[in-house]
Structure 1
């Protein structure tokens, strides 16, 4: 009998939807992997009670102690900030610190090859900052802890993946952060990921930055001076690359199957399009790390957290991607 892959699921911000979606997704995820929650057993108990699931928490200290079952949710009890004063749906420094510590422990276990992959529930960026942790989000923590020199956030659906050249920064700073080298590096990471998943050379498109691709320089010149030279280098390296293509037509063409992957120039250019296409199926993948990490493609959702309303679909999809990438 083949052993199922061990997947670490970080609880994220306990005040948000993380605990709830983990409990809701547990049975479905358990069918194809051995999941272990990395977080706080007491908050997991609260989520079990919230959705009235017939299950108990198995509190463990090491991944090897876990024996996950439909009625037994294994939870690695991470010693971190005191969560007794955390209120549901409220930004809190202790919750931010705890979410960070769950992730750090999971990264270390994955680096030690004690798990196949990490799947992360959402944390709250303001909570991180209140805790004195100067990271914009998961991606940057992962890159720092694993010492990954090149990494990229990829939002993925089974039919399309989008890599982002720039990520968590003010829109006014995007232009200064774009470079030929950065675009090429992101395209390479996207190609590596999709080649593994598809088993063939992927078709990748580079999004233009300016409206209408700048219409020959009428609305900026980044297409001519940065994105087109990057496309040329990608082609010289053997990649199947098109672009720059105006984003308003690119994502329509991609949704119709013309491309397997898109390199977006900034956060919302990629996120809005892919989340509209994928709805709750989208998954966040950090490519370029020495470990496998996937995540839900949504936030803490304080507006619906702890009401039994949260949808677990993205977490299930993230776990499936983690297993696929780890196989």
Structure 2
């Protein structure tokens, strides 16, 4: 009898909290829709109620809440938007809730969250573009490229009328030639993966602040000066790049996709590793203040010095100057 009463109390509480989660999710999503300026913040806030619900209950209650939220958004706004957005938000909230509830470490959580965001973004984009545009993804990209090239041609004409020489306009012409639908399509996988990792970190950081306020135990985010490129991940991406080169030599279309995407990912991770390495030495060896370090990074990372950061990141992956790679510690 007592067990039945406890189950009834639990079910009532779960139902009430699920209802609250649905209400919060729908309200935030509608704010996201009708107040575009708030969308940047709202996109990081929406998964938080779902994450908390998963931590407090289980995936069944959470999944029902996500589906119900999608139904309400479809009723109030648009079925296509509801399906695509709730898939992305649902993936993020459930995965983060699972990682926090099962006390996964920071690195594992970021990997899981990045995968969830990449899948969610892919599904969201595919559904939205396919259903909203008759031209499909390639046609959608072609329109963007066409508009971009038209604006570049207008800028080029203005510069020519102002007396700018052909040699000075060469970079614009090169950009127009490079910026093709095929080139953008090849970059999309790499852009999705890279952006998913960045968004996963931001989402984790914001959600962690909220969860700490609510007295939940959440693993600390790793300080930026301790970020590093794991040799196994670096090797894996490097192998994908080599495979892309081999496929491309055999005139296989997938080769260019692998080359462009893996190359973009390697450039980004080496850049981040290099900036992290420089930050580490400036803070620990030369005792430079954080504010000065931020200024140095901001004014150099978008210049040709970014190549130096990338090279430093590659060398750090090979030699592990900060002794952060756990796999190397195990070997020793």
Does TM-score exceed 0.5, indicating one fold? no
TM (norm. structure 1) is: 0.31
Greater relative CO, 1 or 2 (CA 8 Å, sep 6+): 1
TM (norm. structure 2) is: 0.30
Higher Cα Rg, which structure: 2
Structure ranking higher in strand proportion: 1
